[in-house]
Amino acid sequence: MSKDKSPRVGQIAKVLSGRHHGKYTVLIGIVNDRYVLIADGHKRKFDFPKKKNLLHLQLMGDASEEVVSSLKETGRVTNGKLRLALKQFSAENAIDAHEKGE
């Protein structure tokens, strides 16, 4: 992570260390300048986010507008919207996303 890029709610991030390394997730909250809350809508739901050190994440591009607007309007986001944001990101960037089932 470069020091000039600050994390934003709704931003996609790649997990660099821990049990879910190599997977993509969405930032759903910022705890402080060192920690954020992440969720993916599959294993890690919005109601039980993971507190993660920013040093263990690689922030990717822009934030998902659907996630940002949902959080601004209602203060929460559905797990389906988190999955959709990750699916759209993987389609735009040709990443092999780990889909549930099928």
Could you list the residue range(s) of the whole structural domain that residue 75 is in? 11-93
pLDDT tens-digit profile of 69-89? 898 999 889 999 999 999 988
25: in domain: yes
Q: Against a cut of 0.85, is the pTM above it?
A: no
CB of 90 within 8 A of CB of 41? no
**DSSP E strand stretches across the chain:** 11-15, 24-30, 35-39, 50-53, 57-63
Tell me whether residue 75 is in a domain.
yes
CATH number for position 46: 2.30.30.140
Q: What is the pLDDT at residue 4?
A: 44
